[in-house]
Amino acid sequence: MAKRGLLLVAEDRWTSPYVLAVWAALHVKKLAFEVREISLSAGEQRAPELHAGLTARVPMLFHDDFVLSESSAIVEYLDEVFEGEPLLPTLPRERARARQVMHFIRSDLMPIREERSTETLFLGKPIAPLSPAAQDAAGKLFRAAAAVVAEAPAADRLFSMPTIADVDLAMVLMRLIGNGDAVPEPLTKFATAVWARPYVQSFVQHVR
Ligand SMILES: N[C@@H](CCC(=O)N[C@@H](CS)C(=O)NCC(=O)O)C(=O)O
How far is residue 120's CA from residue 200's CA, in Å, rounded to a whole number?
17
Q: Using only the alpha carbons of the chain, give its radius of gyration.
A: 17
Closest of 13, 20, 15 to residue 170, by C-alpha: 20
How far apart are alpha carbons 18 and 59 in whole angstroms? 6
Average pLDDT over all residues of the chain: 96
Q: Is the CB of 148 under 6 A from ligand 1?
A: no
Q: Does the Cβ of 57 fall within 6 Å of ligand 1?
A: yes
Determine contact, residues 39/67, Cβ cutoff 8 Å: no
Ligand 1, atom nearest to 69 Cα: 20
Strand order in the sheet with 6-11: 34-38, 6-11, 60-63, 66-69
The whole-number pLDDT of residue 203 equals: 98
| pLDDT at 32 > cutoff 90 | yes
| pLDDT, tens digit, 9 for 90 and up, residues 67-95 | 999 999 999 999 999 999 999 999 999 99
Give the integer Cα–Cα distance in Å for 48 and 129. Answer: 41
Regarding the beta carbon of 164 and ligand 1, being less than 6 Å apart is answered: no
Average pLDDT over residues 111-121: 97
Running DSSP on this structure, what letter comes out for residue 12? T
The answer to whether the CB of 106 is under 6 A from ligand 1 is: yes
Q: What is the pLDDT of residue 208?
A: 83
Band of pLDDT at residue 4, cut at 50, 70 and 90:
confident
Residue 44 has pLDDT above 80, yes or no: yes
Ligand 1: residue whose CA is nearest its atom 17: 57
Q: Which positions ≥6 away from 108 have C-beta within 8 Å? A: 137, 140
Tell me if 40 CB under 6 Å of ligand 1.
yes
- Whose Cα sits closest to atom 12 in ligand 1? 57
Q: Residue 136, Cα to own-chain centre: how many angstroms?
A: 22
Distance from the alpha carbon of residue 153 to the mean position of ligand 1, in angstroms: 32
Ordered DSSP codes for 155-176: TTBSSSS--HHHHHHHHHHHHH
Encode pLDDT of 137-182 as tens digits. Answer: 999 999 999 999 999 999 999 999 999 999 999 999 999 999 999 9
Residue 9: CB atoms within 10 A of its CB come to 26
Pocket test for ligand 1, best of 16, 20, 45, 117 (most atoms within 8 A of CB): 16
Contact at 8 Å (CB) between 21 and 75? yes
